[in-house]
Amino acid sequence: MQKAHAEAWANSSSPHQAGRAARARIEDVRERIAGLLAVDARDVLFTGSGTEANNLALRSAAALVVSRLDHPSIVRVAEARARAGVPVAWVPVPEAGRLDPEEVLRAALGLPGAQRQGTVVAITAANHETGVIQDVAGIGTRLREHGMRLHVDAAQALGKLPLESFAGADSYTVVAHKVRGPQGVAALAWRGEAPAPVLLGGSQERGLRPGTQSAPLVAGWGAALERLDPERYLRLQPLRDRLERELAGYARVNGEGAPRLSHVSNLSVTGWSGERLVAALDVRGVCVSTGSACRVGTAEPSAAVLAMLGLERARSAVRISLGEDCDEDQLRRGISLISSLLAGQSSSASGSSRGIV
């Protein structure tokens, strides 16, 4: 990114040499994302966030099929479209948090028949709060038989799961900072008909996302793409499982029984509210959350856990994720800090538990 700041400082839409240098960096990363997702490079659109990419993917749909497990940038679009009179079907959420492909299809087929060809079904490949992994292939197979499009929010899945686990969709949202790239850059990739723009302006990104692109941000994403390796996260599953075992006397696992991201644990802790526990752990050097960072400041409980297991479990839920560099020593210290707090004892542990984020 520093090199791009120095060498690709110009507007990438400018025809002069400096502009072409900036554009070359952007197009290189666009082609690499296209190769990963098996789409045409022309159909990869850079955005400022995953939220923007999801909005682009869904705003022009004739009908939507979503669930309360989805990211707010999907759920809020669906709610707004419903208020505008667009048919929206909500898929029932089971306790384990993994949608039944037959239930997804049933919800879609319940929409008015004339809308089915323009229907978009949105699925969050790996849940941002519980880590539960959806059956993207099973859902996609059923939808294709009826001519409906599948949009996959792969923000949490890219780099954490093998690509084939969420392949086969008609469009994807991917986000740089979820793979340790820079914040402020994401992409929408699709097959078939292009999305309708949310913003109006210049001709950048085929006019679908006007505004000057940032070559340094895109270059940073390109650097992050070079080190994609799901094994970095898959190796964390024994550590995550140990965390859950050692806290079993205090907490229940949300999403237990469903396939989950190997580094994520969502726990409902008996006798604590999620917000109180987050604050208490924060002063001890352990960074956890009550759910999606997008919900900060709302005082709302985890939307995913609420849909799965009800208000009581949601109010007491916290999300713990293990950083890719987490090791046995960091995990041990993190567990010690958490368990001593939950047991009502003063922790004598010293040092940081920064591997638990």
Q: In which element (H, E) is residue 293 found?
A: none
The DSSP result for 181-230, as a single string, is --TT-EEEEESSSPPPPSS--SSGGGGTS-S---HHHHHHHHHHHTT--T
Closest by Cα among 280, 283, 301 to 292? 301
Side-chain-side CA neighbours of residue 276 (13 Å): 10
Could you count the other beta carbons within 10 Å of the beta carbon of residue 264? 23
| Alpha carbons 355 and 324: distance in angstroms, whole number | 8
Nearest to 71 by CA among 167, 173, 161, 150: 173
- The DSSP letter of residue 178 is G
Alpha-carbon span 14 to 34, nearest angstrom: 24
Active site residue 294: yes
* Nearby residues of 111 by Cβ (< 8 Å), 6 or more positions away: 63, 65, 87, 89, 119
Phi-psi region of 193 (alpha: psi -120 to 50; beta: other; left: phi over 0): beta
Q: Which candidate in 163, 199, 223, 294 is catalytic? A: 294
- Name every residue whose Cβ is closer than 8 Å to that of residue 117 and which is 6 or more positions away in sequence: 62, 147, 148
Return the H-helix or E-strand segment holding 239: helix 237-246
Smallest CA-to-CA distance from 153 within 172, 167, 134, 179 is with: 172
Asked if 220 and 1 touch (Cβ cutoff 8 Å), the reply is yes
Active-site positions read: 294
